[in-house]
Amino acid sequence: MAEPGRRHVLGGAAALGSAFALGGATAAGRAVAAAGAAGASARPLALTHATLIAAPGVEPPRPGMTVVVRAGRITAVGRSAEVAAPPDAHVMDLRGRYVLPGLIDSRTDGDSSDGDNGDAPPVRRGVTTFAGSGSAPLDGVPSVWPESVSVRDAATARRAVRRAWEAGAAFVRVHPRLSREAYLAVAEEAGRRQLPYAGHCPDAVPLAEASDAGQRTVEHLHALLLAASTREEEIRRGLARVRVAAGANPYGDWLRQIHRLEWTAVRSYYPDRADRLLDRLAANGTRITPALTARSDPRQPDDARLRGIRAHRLHLVAELHRRGVPLLAGSARGGDLHEELEQLADSAGLGAAAALRAATVEPARALGLGHHVGTVAPGRAADLVVLAPGADPLRDVRAVRRTDAVVVRGRLYAEGVPTPAMMIRPMRESGEASSPFASVELTE
């Protein structure tokens, strides 16, 4: 019974993994969790007189609140006049400061466990949960990423899913060059094993079909942009002619060809067609990770065509939000989560609350971990972000860059304290074989 239990906790959605918090997949496909009670501080922590944003985009901020943490979990939330700090607690008076749930990075195009793109490590940026890469990406031949598993047909697709299952992957990752035959075989085999699949919508598969088939999370906006065109049939014939050379930069080669088709789609965009598709995605519960900060091939000139495509993507994100399609905030290679939040809030016009929801409440639900992370409430994991005095993230989402302290499963990391190292060991080594997660111990 242990094997089905591994995946059940991830829910029906495409669970993309997490670290520093409660669940998901590492680069090797292992589920990862943050320090449990054994790794949490033995002394309780009380954050008092804070302005609490317990569920960004869902609940309004509440001033004068106390959050009590013990053994890695939140044990009490309430007005500071009514909730007493435990006598042995470490008390932080947070008058003038905002507290919100730890941020969740639904990062695309690879594993976030390095937490490093030349900027501050994830904990210092308030990121307490991130999406891993699940299985090695399943892609066509040749693939666009060197670490991908090349899948030629339905039979090899089924074998790849079985191998991912046997290796303990939390989900199967799909990439853009999968054939329609192979993709449908992935969907069927993964469904038989109750193993979620997520990633790109393959070029050969219409987005509506992928959504209907059960792909609950789709990364990037390429497929949506192409499907909202009055020239979709012509564009699909163009997709069938795309060829990727096995060379030094197959992804850039693929992306340049996709950009040409995207520009055709931009000039033939049909709002009614887009609305029907977005309503279908919303009805199916399909989530979109726009990855607006994803960088184009640096060797490709930033011309008017690319600028037009980026502007249209921002319009599509606004339409997704307007039609009720859940959005996830995910950094991409070359970008960071703060930049993605700013793109969602300001450039796409969603506003700060909706952008923060895409990095807290919504990805927690997508992970099947809505009762563990993404909100601040009793029983939830004690993953919290404390912002600097006067930094109101609902007024300006850039305020999340002004992080004073982060609480990770009950352990406090304040400005000036070195970011802890991560040590990962499977739970089964500690006698918890039924858990779908591994344990991450945080040590200074």
Q: Which long-range contacts (CB under 8 A, 24 or more apart) does 296-303 make?
A: 296/255, 296/259, 297/249, 297/251, 297/252, 297/255, 297/256, 299/249, 299/252, 300/252, 300/255, 300/256, 300/259
Q: Answer yes or no: are the C-beta atoms of 201 and 239 closer than 8 Å.
A: no
Q: Answer yes or no: are the C-beta atoms of 438 and 31 closer than 8 Å.
A: yes
Flag whether the pTM goes above 0.85. no
Q: What SS3 class is residue 69?
A: strand
**Buried/exposed 150-185: b ≥16 CB within 10 Å, e otherwise:** ebeebebbbebbeebbeebbbbbbbbbbbbeebbbb
**Count of CA atoms in the C-beta half-sphere (13 A) of 365:** 14
**Cα 276 from Cα 22, distance rounded (Å):** 36
**Cα 99 from Cα 28, distance rounded (Å):** 33
**Cα 23 from Cα 435, distance rounded (Å):** 10
pLDDT for 132: 60
Sequence-ordered strand ranges (E) for 171-320: 172-174, 197-199, 217-219, 287-289
pLDDT for 300: 65
Q: Answer yes or no: are the C-beta atoms of 76 and 379 closer than 8 Å.
A: no
**Cα 182 from Cα 210, distance rounded (Å):** 12
Residue-by-residue pLDDT tens, the chain, 444 positions: 333 333 322 222 223 333 332 233 222 222 223 333 334 567 899 999 999 999 999 999 999 999 999 999 999 999 999 999 999 999 999 999 999 999 999 875 654 444 444 445 567 789 988 766 578 899 998 888 878 899 999 999 999 999 999 998 888 999 999 999 999 999 999 999 999 999 999 999 999 999 999 998 999 999 999 999 999 999 999 999 988 877 778 888 888 899 999 999 999 999 999 999 999 999 999 999 999 988 666 566 678 899 999 999 999 999 999 999 999 999 876 458 999 999 999 999 999 999 999 999 999 998 888 999 999 999 999 999 999 999 999 999 999 999 999 999 998 888 643 333 222 222 223 233 322 222 223 333
